[in-house]
Amino acid sequence: MRFMPDGKGLIYMQGATPWQDFWFLDLATLKTRQLTRLNKSDTMRTFDITADGKEIVFDRLRENSDVVVIDLAKRGE
């Protein structure tokens, strides 16, 4: 979670991993509202808010890589 630059709100991630969205909590009224509806199932690990409070910067991790190990025999074996 991150506080808004003006200190009047809080941005946080909510939802079952990996389907998380950003939400806003108004600290004066304690009311929440959903800010995003992200449609991909990539995992978000961290985020930040720009100094003017207008943008959220975040990373997304996609688990779709294959790892292959090739064990070559040494020469002469």
User: Is the predicted pLDDT of residue 15 greater than 60, yes or no?
Assistant: yes
CA dihedral 35, 36, 37, 42 (to 10 degrees): -140
Average pLDDT score over the chain: 83
**pTM, 2 dp:** 0.70
The C-alpha atoms of residue 24 and residue 1 are separated, in whole angstroms, by 10
Task: Quote the pLDDT of residue 31.
Answer: 97
The per-residue pLDDT for range 28-61, each reduced to its tens digit, is 999 999 998 887 766 777 889 999 999 898 887 7
Task: Quote the pLDDT of residue 19.
Answer: 74
Task: Quote the pLDDT of residue 39.
Answer: 75
